[in-house]
Amino acid sequence: MKSIQVKWEFFYWSAEEKNRQGESLSTCMSKYGVGGWYCTSRDMAAALVFKSDERLASNSWLLGVKRLSDHVQASAYHYDTMQHSFRVPASSVFGSRMRERLFLKGLWKDADVTPN
């Protein structure tokens, strides 16, 4: 798996979101982990919290999405309009925890540089 360099400004989070087993996002992040993907043809990178052992994007929480070409973190309309969703600054203590998990997973380097 190739890592890419992305600097996140914020992450989407919810204290109320649960998986099918009733586990919180925090529990899911610890238990099932984080992941992500990037696609140069779509000019996009995404970071996810998996909500089950299957580790599927279709059963995950979107932490953030970013355009690779100009390094701009894009808004996710669904998460921005969800009543129980909020943005956590990547520079906050909790945001640092998320950045660290993504970094340790080998998915992201914490820099503002596009992949080669």
What amino acid occupies position 113? V
Sorted by sequence, the CB contacts under 8 Å of residue 1 that are 6+ apart come out as: 106, 107
Mean per-residue pLDDT, 7-21: 93
Question: What is the pTM assigned to this prediction?
Answer: 0.81
* 44 φ, ψ (degrees, to nearest 5): -145, 145
The answer to whether residue 108 scores a pLDDT higher than 80 is: no
* pLDDT for 23: 98
What mean pLDDT value characterizes the chain?
Answer: 83
The per-residue pLDDT for 104 is 62
Residue 36, Cα to own-chain centre: how many angstroms? 7
Give the confidence band of 105 by pLDDT, cuts at 50, 70, 90.
low
* Residue 6: band (very low, low, confident or very high) from pLDDT cuts 50, 70, 90: low
For the chain, the domains span 21-107
Percent of the chain with pLDDT over 70: 84
Return the pLDDT at 112: 33
